[in-house]
Amino acid sequence: MAEQKHNEHLLELACPVEGGDFIHAGEVASKIKKVLKEIGVSQEVVRRTAIATYEAEMNVVCYARRGKFYLTITPDCLKIVVQDEGQGIEDIELAMKEGYSTASPQIREMGFGAGMGLPNIKKNVDQLQITSVVGEGTRLEMDIFTRC
């Protein structure tokens, strides 16, 4: 019963993303943004989340076979976990550097892969945790505090 009470304040969403699908790229980020606007969190939180989720979604589209977004919203905090199946990141520290990119020429031609994705995510969230296994995939955990 206590747990149920707690769950009332909790909203969970799970959204799949297909690697290489540039047509629908950005739809998950849009969906998350819409929910946040409906909930009525501050414009600043919507703005930051919109950018972070879009960058994370593009990373899945550009570098992974597939991935999944798990969004948990409580009145105080927004947690977004992105788990993908893909090439993984060899050197996370390097990947966090602005301008560092392993994108293929094709992806760069489409205007992505400028090496700003992860740094941009870090700039817009309150906590970021990245774990990755090369050849298997990457897991991004982003926290955004909505009340502070």
Partner 1 sequence: MDEYFHSVKVDRGRCKGTMRCMRVCPTEAIRIREGKAIILEYRCIDCGDCIRVCPEQAIRSVVGSYEDLGKFKYTVAIPSPSLYAQFGMGISPNHILNGLKGLAFNEAYDIGRACEIYITVLKEYLRTYSDNKPLISTLCPSVVRLIQNIFPDFVRNLLSLEAPRGIAGAEVKNDKARKLGINSKEVGAIYITPCPAEMIAVNQPQCKSESSLDGALAISDIYGLLISSIRKLGPLEELHLSSGLGIGLAIPGGCIMDLDAENALAVDGVRNIIKVLDDLEHGKITNIKYLELWACPGGCVGGPFAVDNPYLTKIKVIKLIQSFGKKKSSDEELNSLRAYLSCDVELHPRGSSTLGRDTVDAIKKIKQRDSIIENLPKIDCGACGAPTCKAFAEDVIQGRAEILDCVFKLKDKVVETLQDGLGWARKTPLSFRKRT
Q: Which residues bind partner 1 (CB under 8 A)?
A: 8-11, 26, 29-30, 33-35, 37-41, 43, 46-47, 50-51, 53-55, 73, 75, 120, 146
* Contacts by 43-51, CB closer than 8 A, 24 or more apart: 45/78, 45/144, 45/146, 48/124, 48/125, 48/144, 49/78, 49/80, 49/124, 49/144, 51/120, 51/121, 51/124
Least distance CB 120 / partner 1 (angstroms): 7
Least distance CB 90 / partner 1 (angstroms): 26
Nearer to partner 1, 7 or 104 (CB): 7
CA angle 50, 91, 93 (to 5 degrees): 60
Nearer to partner 1, 46 or 95 (CB): 46
Least distance CB 144 / partner 1 (angstroms): 14
Least distance CB 74 / partner 1 (angstroms): 8
Nearer to partner 1, 33 or 138 (CB): 33
Torsion-angle region of 20 (φ positive above 0: left; ψ -120 to 50: alpha; else: beta): left
